[in-house]
């Protein structure tokens, strides 16, 4: 896994409006998550791990 976050295009969710948000960044091999508008810490996932998480979230597996 790489640690070069400068070459990642970060996106923040459209529902972010109170500053307590996360950003998601993608590159060719990894998906990264961090607190919005900060540099560190960054949590890194493979694309397969990210796809499994998103699929589970869409299916309601993480609903409260």
Confidence at residue 1, expressed as pLDDT on a 0 to 100 scale: 44
Q: Is the pLDDT of residue 10 over 90?
A: no
CA distance 43 to 61: 21
The domain ranges of the chain are 5-58
pLDDT tens digits, 16-28: 877 778 899 988 8
Q: Looking at per-residue confidence, does 35 or 7 come out higher?
A: 35
Note the pLDDT tens digit of each residue in 33-61.
998 877 778 899 999 999 999 999 999 99
């Amino acid at each position: 896994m790489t640690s070069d976050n400068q070459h990642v295009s970060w996106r923040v969710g459209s529902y972010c409006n109170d500053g307590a948000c996360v950003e998601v960044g993608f590159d060719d091999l990894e998906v990264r998550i961090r607190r919005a508008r900060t540099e560190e810490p960054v949590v890194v996932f493979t694309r397969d791990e990210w796809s499994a998480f998103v699929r589970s979230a869409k299916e309601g597996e993480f609903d409260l």
